[in-house]
Structure 1
Amino acid sequence: MDVYSSVSAACRAAGPARSLAQEAVGADEQLGPPVAGVRPDPADAPRRAALVASQILGMALARHVLRIAPAASMPREEVIARLASTVQRHLTAEWP
């Protein structure tokens, strides 16, 4: 089982396994501080970090766990190029 499948299984589990998986991909802890440095209002950081995490984890799930075509076979550089503007918007755009 690869790392993405393992994390996916742990997230579906209850108890300690789920908590550990949530900590491993925790948007607040992992992404919060860098996101807070990008925005003038650090209070925005948790929401923005969660949106960034949802994009990255969603693509990881599609590519490596579900193996959805064509996401699974896209070159890494193309995935980055296609997701970059969305991640940038989540980080820096004004809220609607």
Structure 2
Amino acid sequence: MSSLLESIEKEVKRRAYETMIDCLKSYQVQGEEAIEEFQHGTRAFYRANDEYVPHWQGESRAAYELIYGDLRQTEAYIDASAEDLLHEISREID
């Protein structure tokens, strides 16, 4: 009887782990899709930046450069955070 209970408990735990892994894999895919969408947006931004900004001068250019610097820092932070998140999800799945 005890071996039957142990077997049932193991099966319940195995299924619970499988469910958690499936959830984590889903989060991982969603995270990868979000990162891809973000990178698509940044590429579009840089294309527009390269096309229009070189013609700006004066105060508008100076103000833009400040914002541009902030955007670059934010992008780096998001990239690093996304990489950390995906790494942690992979680690947890393993």
TM-score, shorter chain, exceeding 0.5 = no
Larger Rg: 2
Query: By percentage of residues, which structure has more helix?
Result: 2
For the aligned pair, the TM-score class normalised by the smaller chain equals: 0.3 to 0.5
Query: What TM-score, normalized by structure 2, do the two folds share?
Result: 0.35
Larger relative CO (CA 8 A, sep 6+): 1 or 2? 2
Query: What TM-score, normalized by structure 1, do the two folds share?
Result: 0.34
